[in-house]
Amino acid sequence: MAREIGLRLLELRARSRAELATAMARKGVPAEVAARVLDRFEEVGLVDDAQFASLWVEGQQRRMKSARALRQELRTKGVDAETIDTALSDTPDDADYAAARALAEKKVRSMANLEPHVRYRRLAGALARRGFGPGLAHRVVGEVTEGLDEPEP
């Protein structure tokens, strides 16, 4: 039963060992049985938290999230801190800036008719919800809104 639960979940997407263990526990699988099945999954390469974390970071960066948000998501999925650090170490130094800038540029297109303070608040809020800090949000919002409120010659 534990094997089927794990395989069914892995058909949908990659999972961390902790996610699979939690799912098995919810279905009433004894902990020692789940541990044996998960050990076997690791042996054959079906479960690899390092690979899972790397793939998660890569996929979520395309969704324009900050490193802080990615770290928190991986933590909630049961990935250990060392594995998370390794996965995030492969990201470029300016990845947060690039993601924040891309998100702000995408969002600002639909906000041209808003008052400047409303546009600023909404863009900063969107960046905050994706885990970007206030300093970076302020910088990026300033850059993408520069010149929007100047009268045309």
Q: Does domain 1-47 have CATH number 1.10.10?
A: yes
Which option is the CATH number for 48-91: 1.10.287, 3.30.200, 1.10.10, 3.40.50? 1.10.10
Could you report the per-residue pLDDT of 13-52, keeping only the tens digit for each? 899 999 999 999 999 999 999 999 999 999 999 999 999 9
Complete DSSP assignment for 30-86: -HHHHHHHHHHHHHTTS--HHHHHHHHHHHHHTTT--HHHHHHHHHHTT--HHHHHH
When the pLDDT of each residue in the chain is averaged and rounded to a whole number, the result is 89
Who has greater pLDDT, 127 or 152?
A: 127
